Each structure stands twice: as structure tokens, then as C-alpha cells.
Amino acid sequence: MTDLLADARAELYQADPDNFMPRRQELAARAREAGEPDAAKQIGALRKPTRSAWVVNRLVRTHPEATARLAELAAELRAGGLDGGRIRELTTARARLVDELTQQAFDDLPAPTAAVREEVTATLDAALADPEVAANLGTLVRAAHWAGFGLGDGTPAPAPPAAKTKKPAPVEPSAERERRHREKIMEAERAVAQADQAADAANAAERRLEDAVRRLEAELAQARQQLAEARRQAYRAESQQRRAGETLSRLRG
């Protein structure tokens, strides 16, 4: 990995994803101008992260100790051979660490939607159980979810049944293999482009909904203030009405 590629990864996965696409183009162009076409190609292929993935990337890049804390606890969880008391202790520690890091991730960010917060929590929890998720912290493109059970202690799964012996497949001509390989590359490139478009559309929809939620929350707060003021005015009017009635009664008496 060249310095240009490493620097581009660091910048793109830490900066707000709203600016990802234009900045990626600028960095790829800079690499081409620097005479590093391979780096430019790899930079141009970097995937835009979802908002929740960006929050986790930003956390581990700005607070490296978060990664160390996750790795330390993950090693304890995978140790295996634990008694009931130790398991309960680690389960509590796991929940506490994930909660602390989730809170830290949003400390200097606007209040997130419930969905984004849940995805950040799920990703941090998955990083404790799945080494692949942990290895990609900092360059995640989407939220991760742990699909296993228990503490993720690394207990090996049962070995699959032995595969039946198959006859060797006939060897394809090299030209045919190359043609099929090119077709697969083109198909993969189309799939990546479609996935990028879908991710961009989903991110745009998420931003629109976040704006709508913030607007509705502001309107609700204003309505509550108006309601409180109306109640105070009604109380004052009732008090004035009661005092006027008492004065009238005394004058008539």
C-alpha cells in the first residue's frame, strides 16, 4: 500500500461521508498526477461508508485506545473454558464496553437516529466476536452484526462431512478461461456500481429522514413551550376571574 493510498483511506473513512464521493475523485486525480496510476485506481474503488459505519471508523481513528480495549476483551472472550461466574463477569464487561464506546462515538456529533445508534452498537459488539470485523475497523463500509451465539469464544464448529471424491473437470482452453474471467470481472464491476448507487440512495434517504426527525422534534419542542405558556395564561385568567367574582360579591353584600 502506497502512502497516497494509505492517506486517502485515512482521510475518506474519517471525514463525513457526505463529502466522500467528490473527495475520492480529487484524491484519485492527485495520485494519477503524482504518477501512481495503481494507487489512483485503488483509491477510486474505495467504497463509501454508511453513516453508522463512518461513526465507528471515526471512533477508532480518533481514539486508537478503543481498538485496544476491544481487542483485549475479545481475547478474554475467546479464551474458552470459563466457569459460570467468569462468563457472567465477561458478559457484563462486554455490555459495559460496548455502551461506553457507543457513547464516546457520539460525544461530539449531533444526536443520532435510533437506527444509527443501534447499528453502531451492533458493529462494536460484532467486533468483539468476529476477528474479520475487528480487522476492518477504521475502513468499514457498512454496519456489522454478530450472527453467532454466546460470548463468541471461538469454539470450533463441527467439521463438515468429508467431500465425495469427484472426477477432475475437463480443462478449458486458455482463451475460453480468459473470456469467462473477463465476463466475471465485468459482472462484478456492474454489481459494485449498482451497490454504490443503492448505498448512495439509502444514505440520502437516511439524511432526509434525519432532517425530518430534527424538524419535527424542533416543532414539538416549540409546541410544548406554547402549550406551557397557554396554560400559564389560562391559570392567570382564572385567578383574575375568581378575584373579580369575590370583589363583586363583597360589593353586593
Supply the pLDDT for residue 55: 96
Domain ranges of the chain: 1-48, 52-153, 174-253
Tell me the pLDDT tens digit for each residue of 219-234: 877 888 888 788 888 7
**Segment 126-155, tens digit of pLDDT:** 999 999 999 999 999 999 988 654 555 444
**Whether the Cβ atoms of residue 4 and residue 41 lie closer than 8 Å to each other:** no
Task: Examine the pLDDT at 161 and tell me if it is beyond 60.
Answer: no
Q: What percentage of the chain carries pLDDT values higher than 70?
A: 76
Evaluated on CA atoms 101, 105, 107, 113, the torsion sign reads negative
How high is the pLDDT of residue 194? 67
- What does the pLDDT look like over 73-93, one tens digit per residue? 999 888 865 677 888 888 899
pTM of the model: 0.57
Could you give the 3-state DSSP secondary structure of residue 13? coil
H helices of 63-156, in order, are: 64-77, 84-105, 114-129, 131-135
Render pLDDT for 96-126 as a digit per residue (tens, 0 to 9).
Answer: 999 999 999 999 999 999 999 999 999 999 9
How far, in Å, are 36, 67, 128, 239 from residue 74 at the CA level?
38, 10, 5, 65
pLDDT at 13 over 50: yes
